């Protein structure tokens, strides 16, 4: 289900948070279209945190990669990466309104990034919204092999460490399905969301000011929350 909003001044970061709390999120048709559409899928994608799957190959990559993983260092670069054309997409839904709204959430501490670096060069990452004990994944990108997968592994480890209970992916792709993502009916999603909005979680339960190693992230996935 989708409804169109054409009034740029009506949506603020606070309104956006209220929308997420109601189970809806905005998207644009493309980067050049100033309008936003409010989306509420009948089937919602989630990654059950207890059912997150990392293949043996990816686990080896996460453990041995020379890439560095940081969080909340450069939101603008991450959203630029997510908006850039890629081999599997030549258009983006991230328009100027989306950029400004999520930058506003980032400045308020309600939007977080996971960033993957090769030296000082950003080569992959993702961003999403946090509210209560829910994290709503928005987009991810990579310019080197496995960088976005590494970011996702570190994200789920951080969510588990921080006491999150819901990881919303909006939709389920075959790529996400390989990590354990599933679809749930809207009614079931709203129940999970209602429960996740009670209490608080801490995205910085793992240190945010230093890199977290792949071995640390995998240990959390194996052992559960550190809280």
Mean pLDDT to the nearest integer, 24-51: 88
Q: Are 82 and 124 in contact (CB under 8 A)?
A: no
Mean pLDDT to the nearest integer, 160-166: 97
DSSP state of 75: H
Q: Which helix (H) or strand (E) holds 3?
A: strand 2-5
Which CATH number does 42-93+107-224 carry?
3.40.630.70
How many other CB atoms are found less than 10 A from the CB of residue 193?
A: 23
Q: Residue 36's closest CA among 4, 2, 79, 11?
A: 4
The answer to whether the pTM exceeds 0.75 is yes
Listed by start position, the domains of the chain span 42-93+107-224
Q: What are the tens digits of pLDDT across the range 70-113?
A: 999 999 999 999 998 766 655 677 888 899 999 999 999 999 99
Q: Are 49 and 109 in contact (CB under 8 A)?
A: no
What integer pLDDT is reported at residue 29 of this predicted model? 79
């Amino acid at each position: 289900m989708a409804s169109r909003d054409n009034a740029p001044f009506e949506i603020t970061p606070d309104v956006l948070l209220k929308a997420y709390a109601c189970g809806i999120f905005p998207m644009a048709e493309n980067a050049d279209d100033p309008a936003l559409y409010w989306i509420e899928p009948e089937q919602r994608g989630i990654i059950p945190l207890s059912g997150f799957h990392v293949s043996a190959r990816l686990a080896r990559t996460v453990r041995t990669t020379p890439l560095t993983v940081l969080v909340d260092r450069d939101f603008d670069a991450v959203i630029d990466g997510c908006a850039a054309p890629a081999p599997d997409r030549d258009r983006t839904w991230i328009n100027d309104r989306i950029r400004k709204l999520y930058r506003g959430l980032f400045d308020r501490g309600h939007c977080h990034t996971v960033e993957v670096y090769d030296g000082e060069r950003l080569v992959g990452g993702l961003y999403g919204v946090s509210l209560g004990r829910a994290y709503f994944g928005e987009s991810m990108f990579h310019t080197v092999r496995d960088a976005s997968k590494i970011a996702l592994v570190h994200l789920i480890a951080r969510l588990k460490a921080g006491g999150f209970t819901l990881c919303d992916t909006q939709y389920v792709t075959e790529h996400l399905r390989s990590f354990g993502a599933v679809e749930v009916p809207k009614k079931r999603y709203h129940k999970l969301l209602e429960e996740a909005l009670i209490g608080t979680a801490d995205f910085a339960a793992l240190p945010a000011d230093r890199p977290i190693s792949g071995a640390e992230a995998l240990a959390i996935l194996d052992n559960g929350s550190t809280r």
